[in-house]
Structure 1
Amino acid sequence: MPGGRGKIARDLSRLSGKPLAETLERSTLDIQPNAEEWVTSADLVERNLTFIPSVIYDLNVFLLKNPNLKSSNLFRGDILLDSSGILKTPELEDRDYDGCGSNDEVCSVSEDVRPMSASSVPGFRLTRTVVRRFIPRNPKLDRPLEQTCHFYEADDDSALRTAGEQANGDSKDLASTKRMLLIMTPHVSSKEDIPFYHPILRRLALQYDFKYDAEKSETGEGTMSIHFLPYPNEPISTRLERTLSGLINTQIRLARNTGSDRRPDGTSHNPIKDNVIPQHRVQNTYSLLKSKYAADLCQRWVEDTEPSKHVFEDLAITSFFVELWRSMYGVAPKFEKEQKKEQREHDSRFPGFVDVACGNGVLVYVLLMEGYQGWGFDARRRKSWSIFPESVQEKLKEAIYIPKPFSDAIAASGSEKDILDIGVETLTGMFAEDTFIISNHADELTVWTPLMAALSNPNSPHPFLSIPCCSHSLSGAKYRFPPPDEVKTSRRGNKNRQKLNDSKINEPDQNPQSQSGDLKALRAEKQEALTDIGMYSSTYGSLTAKTMMIAAEAGYDVERTLIRIPSTRNMGIIGGRKATAQKWARRFYHPGNGDVACQGVHTSASRDAIIEQINEIVSRECSREGGVEAAAKAWIERAKGLNKGQGRGNEPRH
């Protein structure tokens, strides 16, 4: 797997400058069998490293699940077996997530992949065995590959001695040296079975020796080296040379960006990534949807914008919805039903969706084609709508949302004619019961989304997912919300401040899962808080915080999650997921358990309280712009411009 991503971390002055083939020598490791065929090179050694052994060990555990940091051709590594029982298989990860319906089916999948036999390495003992599966980004080009990874540690005096110490009989610093070894073996019968992203080698080993300073037990000097078992008569290619050197470079570069306090399960500590849906489920679905729709959509694209970015981004978001709805409603997409030869096209368990400010319509198109009933609307019809089937075009409406509080204010002032003058159908957000509301980069509708969802049915507010983009106030005017109070307090240096997660933004308990990316991880609580505060100091972060706060005020259990899309605007705000999943579990999977009210289903008294609360929110937020009536009139004037002008058709987000 190519390993040269990122900056150069090696000391190039110590390299010979010769081709690797000219510097190969027999490995000093006695790895049985075939010990005499193992080779290494002085150019595959890096000395004077300061990383203590636990940093290198934890880093390599992390990389087991995140090989994408070493190869852009890979999505991730799925764990199939861990002898320590710490790393989780995809099936075990599924069980850690809330959901209903299909989760039992997902967890029943079994893997019959056995580890390759461990080598005997004199002076070392086997401590851990892990089997992983490489998951490629493009399954049409590359196939998945299983690999066994054996971890070893030196277990006796002879392994701890350097060559010089053994020759001289000097054991003065014997106990101050630690050695570790990782041997990786692909599950292939011949080199022709090895996919492009993996080096053409029978086996690969990483060794790390660390000699502690005599005076300080936590400092010392480390040496990292690569050893490998080539195929007979296989030439040492330039690509293999780059890959092996790049592996050392990646190890050093990533080790410099992490602390020594690492998680035993090999995950990076980002509590809002993969905290709602497991990474493997979203990525697997994305691969299938991309192979099914991407080429056709890109080929028939008629907008002036770059097709690939928007198509891939919308397919990634669609993948998240497919898996989110699977966990909430127990429904599966059409491509899975086709594989199982199921006849039903629509699942009655799914209540429907509406995509507000649906833009190019790709999200609506793919969801409809995959059997999810719903529709979308936008202030202006897009050229891309014309490339969809007639049945899909019927579900894309040119309409403008007029918030009910604004509609009521205009009616009370006797200015209803202003709404009629917009010249296009208007909606007040009264959707069918239980409709899931999608608000993807909806700009003016972002902060309105939780209010819209609650007002549509105060007795049982609609679940929603909002992905913020540009910041607008309730009147539709561009506006930068001030950061939350916790951020302001932190800037004044108040050491007793509350973390943002303890504020009115009702952050649920999180279940941190593996992710690809941030290795500046595993920080202490204080550093996490500072990171959170830093995020909310930005315009985008303040918009996210505002939307979450308003959703919480409207009675929602609010969650936030980073969605795996190729965009910096990738924060998802989810409202009502848990309540809806509980409601659906009682309705379809556990009927007859009584009529215990679940969170999110309200009495008439609470209904009135929600409406009153929302009116107070709207009044408060509109006060800076002259009150609700003034904000309503400003909204309508902007609505006229959206429909008559070019709108947002050429903006990158659509």
Structure 2
Amino acid sequence: MGRRGRARVRDPSMLTGKPLSETVERSIIDNGKDGWVTSPDLKHEGLSCEPDAMHHLTNFLLGNPNMNSSHLFRADILYDSAGILKTPEEKERMFTAYTHAEVAQEGSAKSVEAAPPKDIPGFVPVRTIVRRLIPRNSTLDRRLEQTCHQYEEKEQSPSVNRSLYVYTPHYSSPKDAPFYHPVVQSLAYLYEFRYDSADDPASPKDEENTKETGEAGERTRGGKGTLSLHILPFPASEDFDPFSARLERTLQALLSTHVRLARNARLPPRLDAQESSQTPPDEGYNPVKDNIIPRHLVQNTYSRLKLQYASDLCRDWVEDTQPSKHVFEDLAIAAFLIELWRNMYGVPPKAERKDDDEHRGQNFPGFVDIACGNGVLVYILLMEGYEGWGFDARRRKTWTILPDWVQARLRETVYIPKPFVDAVSSPDGGLLSKLTAAGIPFHTDDDIPRDTFIISNHADELTVWTPLLAARAAAYLRRPFLSIPCCSHSLSGAKFRYPPPNTKRQGKQKRDDTSSDPMAQSSDQSGDLKALRAAKQASSTVTGDPNSAAVMNSTYGSLTAKTIAIAEEIGYEVERTLLRIPSTRNMGIIGDRKRTIERLRRLATGEKMAEEGLDGANADQIETIEDIAREIVRRECARDGGIEEAAKIWIERAKGLFHVGARRRGIGHD
């Protein structure tokens, strides 16, 4: 039967079961001239979503039409008369760190006129939004401009709240409608919310009925809402059916999506002034989604990379795994890194560089992809003009399909952290001499240039090591990094599940504290299945909540929190962002992005950083950071019997990984 599909949002027994053409009826929003129609099957009653939450949900869907169609990436807002939703240009200005390069994006509203509002009896237009729908595959589907008008009732009632949104695509004929858009002249959502008499919004508010948030004067207002869909069809003709089966399926899908999201819709928590100025309101409330780089920049770059590289990589794929997931995931990560580096270093990809960009290209320090796996990410970044290399404990078959000059940048080598090198070294060479005798190449932190940008993409055993490895450059200039955690391991490389962080405790998490940490006991030991389900549901709202208990208590959430805690303990300025990649392991941890931008700015102007002279590092600061890193390693390795024992475990595991790769290539090793 395959995997179970999503549960039905609407009860089929509540529908007529008849074709749309047999159930259409005149709409209550029709003025007697235009010809608006609806159907009993295009109505859903009994929603508890309050009007303000529905308004917030509609804002979210205006910027995220991909929730309704898998053929769409997003919508670029070209104009909003209320100034709530931001245009691409306004979003870029919100990301103040874009100081090195002006990114000109197609999507100006200068040449796009808004469609005039419809005459809707009993309603008055109060807001106009013009948006451009962006398809995933621009070679198959064209972009489409669309005007949305928000209406309010002329005479508002204290017991009923009605809101209306009318969407008008910018085309005049059915044949001009792109595949992803319903073939209608206009589409409208009407939401009618009837308050319970005891909860009339005009009645006084009291503290006894305040919400669980404890905010005085704000109480739950009971009632039920009805969401209905209305269309303005094109006239019927010999070769056009205005109520086709395909249109009916599309309308049912649109209504079902709205209903499904409305059931969990909520208003975002209040933000402080700084957060509200940096969080695009049309993205829904999620403080770590699209918070580093504007979404449209990453998606536009991803579309270009996909057209340029995906076909050849999928065609030539030689691994036993399916190419689709790996190729498109690496393309998405590459797109994010390209825009991140444009943001940090002012360096565009090779195809966009002009003569005056050459000197700015010198700002980029190069990259290293630790545990680079199939090497596709290294290949794409090199092809895009960014210098770097990658290494892994075993060579992959995919390396053979890459150009020779790219293969030369992929190294089959075992990484031994410097603290482990120091722990197992001896006058006769110690354990490391056995690696050399067995023909196993290895390297340490010292083999990575000081300023190199560290990429740690699903690096497994190297995940928690990433900030420790990156910080060994210098006290004032730690290597910046991007870490995307995956599988959880301790510093010895052994599989290990870190305890959930104690979110109530301020400061860095210490291993010695976990025994008394009430959050250290997994919540599934309580046996409260209902509470677990509630926590999971709470984390699965429209935009998700990466800070929810369900996420933070998971193995992945705990690993992410541990990596962040170690980075912050060393002194990194850490940022989190949810990456738009086809993987559930999609949390990106970025270290010292803002400090790198500030350092380059001061270098360009001849200023000095507060903690360093431009001619060199402060020796005391370097010693301090090394002391902190050494203490972290000592503390974390205690569970494995100390640093020396952890080093032995690491080296044996590294030898095993290398030998697996060698056996697959038919090379014998002792």
Q: Same fold (TM over 0.5)?
A: yes
**Structure 2 stretches lacking a partner, 5+ long:** 201-220, 271-279, 505-513, 522-537, 666-670
In structure 1, the residue matched to 2:498 is 481
In structure 2, the residue matched to 1:626 is 641
In structure 1, the residue matched to 2:606 is 592
- Identify which of 366, 369, 389 aligns with 2:383: 369
Deviation at 1:105, TM superposition (A): 3.7
The structure-2 alpha-carbon separation of the partners of 1:412 and 1:330, relative to structure 1 and needing over 3 Å to count, comes to same
> 8 Å contact 1:583–1:598 — kept in the other structure?
no
In structure 1, the residue matched to 2:177 is 194
User: What pairs with 1:632-647 in structure 2 (closer than 5 Å)?
Assistant: 632-646=647-661
The letter for the 2-side match of 1:140 is: T
After alignment, is 130-139 or 625-634 more displaced? 625-634
**Structure 1 stretches lacking a partner, 5+ long:** 161-173, 494-516
Deviation digits for residues 23-66 of structure 1 (CA, Å, limit 9, x no counterpart): 222333234xx834222222223334443332332221211011
- Identify which of 573, 580, 600 aligns with 2:596: 580
The structure-2 alpha-carbon separation of the partners of 1:421 and 1:467, relative to structure 1 and needing over 3 Å to count, comes to farther
State whether structure 2 residue 154 is matched by structure 1 residue 155: yes
In structure 1, the residue matched to 2:226 is 223
- Quick one: percent identity of the two aligned structures? 53
Deviation at 1:336, TM superposition (A): 3.0
In structure 1, the residue matched to 2:526 is none
> 8 Å contact 1:78–1:90 — kept in the other structure?
yes
What is the CA–CA distance in structure 2 between the aligned matches of 1:400 and 1:201, rounded to whole Å?
61
In structure 2, the residue matched to 1:420 is 436
What is the CA–CA distance in structure 2 between the aligned matches of 1:492 and 1:433, rounded to whole Å?
37
Deviation at 1:413, TM superposition (A): 6.6
What is the CA–CA distance in structure 1 between the aligned matches of 2:105 and 2:123, rounded to whole Å?
37
Deviation at 1:647, TM superposition (A): 8.2
> 8 Å contact 1:29–1:35 — kept in the other structure?
no
SS at match of 2:283: coil
> 8 Å contact 1:345–1:371 — kept in the other structure?
no
Deviation at 1:262, TM superposition (A): 7.6
In structure 2, the residue matched to 1:207 is 190
What is the CA–CA distance in structure 1 between the aligned matches of 2:254 and 2:133, rounded to whole Å?
16
In structure 1, the residue matched to 2:421 is 407
State whether structure 2 residue 634 is matched by structure 1 residue 607: no
> 8 Å contact 1:132–1:146 — kept in the other structure?
yes
Deviation digits for residues 466-524 of structure 1 (CA, Å, limit 9, x no counterpart): 1111122112222222222448745499xxxxxxxxxxxxxxxxxxxxxxx9872699x
What is the CA–CA distance in structure 2 between the aligned matches of 1:230 and 1:470, rounded to whole Å?
52
The letter for the 2-side match of 1:437 is: I
User: What pairs with 1:340-419 in structure 2 (closer than 5 Å)?
Assistant: 347-412=361-426, 414=428, 415=430, 416-419=432-435
The letter for the 2-side match of 1:377 is: F
The structure-2 alpha-carbon separation of the partners of 1:299 and 1:345, relative to structure 1 and needing over 3 Å to count, comes to farther
The structure-2 alpha-carbon separation of the partners of 1:343 and 1:257, relative to structure 1 and needing over 3 Å to count, comes to closer
In structure 2, the residue matched to 1:146 is 145
Deviation digits for residues 402-422 of structure 1 (CA, Å, limit 9, x no counterpart): 111111222247414234235
What is the CA–CA distance in structure 2 between the aligned matches of 1:492 and 1:389, rounded to whole Å?
48
User: What pairs with 1:150-299 in structure 2 (closer than 5 Å)?
Assistant: 150-156=149-155, 175-217=158-200, 218-233=221-236, 234-235=240-241, 236-259=243-266, 265-299=281-315
State whether structure 2 residue 488 is matched by structure 1 residue 467: no
What is the CA–CA distance in structure 2 between the aligned matches of 1:149 and 1:140, rounded to whole Å?
26
Greater length-normalized contact order (CA 8 Å, ≥ 6 residues apart): 1
Q: What RMSD in Å do the two structures reach over aligned CA positions?
A: 3.0
- Identify which of 73, 79, 101 aligns with 1:75: 73
What is the CA–CA distance in structure 2 between the aligned matches of 1:330 and 1:64, rounded to whole Å?
31
SS at match of 2:53: helix
The letter for the 2-side match of 1:120 is: D
What is the CA–CA distance in structure 2 between the aligned matches of 1:630 and 1:249, rounded to whole Å?
57
What is the CA–CA distance in structure 2 between the aligned matches of 1:491 and 1:546, rounded to whole Å?
14
State whether structure 2 residue 466 is matched by structure 1 residue 449: yes
> 8 Å contact 1:100–1:329 — kept in the other structure?
no
The letter for the 1-side match of 2:377 is: L
In structure 1, the residue matched to 2:274 is none
The letter for the 2-side match of 1:136 is: P
State whether structure 2 residue 615 is matched by structure 1 residue 617: no
Deviation digits for residues 247-267 of structure 1 (CA, Å, limit 9, x no counterpart): 222222111112356889343
What is the CA–CA distance in structure 2 between the aligned matches of 1:602 and 1:533, rounded to whole Å?
41
Deviation at 1:83, TM superposition (A): 0.6
In structure 2, the residue matched to 1:13 is 13
> 8 Å contact 1:92–1:107 — kept in the other structure?
no
In structure 1, the residue matched to 2:89 is 91
The structure-2 alpha-carbon separation of the partners of 1:345 and 1:295, relative to structure 1 and needing over 3 Å to count, comes to farther
What is the CA–CA distance in structure 2 between the aligned matches of 1:607 and 1:261, rounded to whole Å?
43
What is the CA–CA distance in structure 1 between the aligned matches of 2:520 and 2:497, rounded to whole Å?
21
In structure 1, the residue matched to 2:579 is 563
What is the CA–CA distance in structure 2 between the aligned matches of 1:329 and 1:649, rounded to whole Å?
40
Deviation at 1:125, TM superposition (A): 1.1
Deviation digits for residues 384-426 of structure 1 (CA, Å, limit 9, x no counterpart): 1111111111111111111111112222474142342352321
> 8 Å contact 1:202–1:231 — kept in the other structure?
yes
In structure 1, the residue matched to 2:29 is 29
State whether structure 2 residue 147 is matched by structure 1 residue 132: no
The letter for the 2-side match of 1:449 is: T
The letter for the 2-side match of 1:17 is: G
Deviation digits for residues 580-636 of structure 1 (CA, Å, limit 9, x no counterpart): 111122234xx2345554799951110011111111111222222222222222222
SS at match of 1:274: coil
Deviation at 1:15, TM superposition (A): 2.4
> 8 Å contact 2:174–2:183 — kept in the other structure?
yes
- TM-score, normalised relative to structure 2: 0.83
> 8 Å contact 1:474–1:631 — kept in the other structure?
yes
> 8 Å contact 2:475–2:618 — kept in the other structure?
no
- Identify which of 340, 346, 359 aligns with 1:324: 340
The structure-2 alpha-carbon separation of the partners of 1:210 and 1:483, relative to structure 1 and needing over 3 Å to count, comes to closer
Deviation at 1:352, TM superposition (A): 0.4
> 8 Å contact 1:459–1:604 — kept in the other structure?
no
What is the CA–CA distance in structure 2 between the aligned matches of 1:114 and 1:647, rounded to whole Å?
63
The structure-2 alpha-carbon separation of the partners of 1:43 and 1:546, relative to structure 1 and needing over 3 Å to count, comes to closer
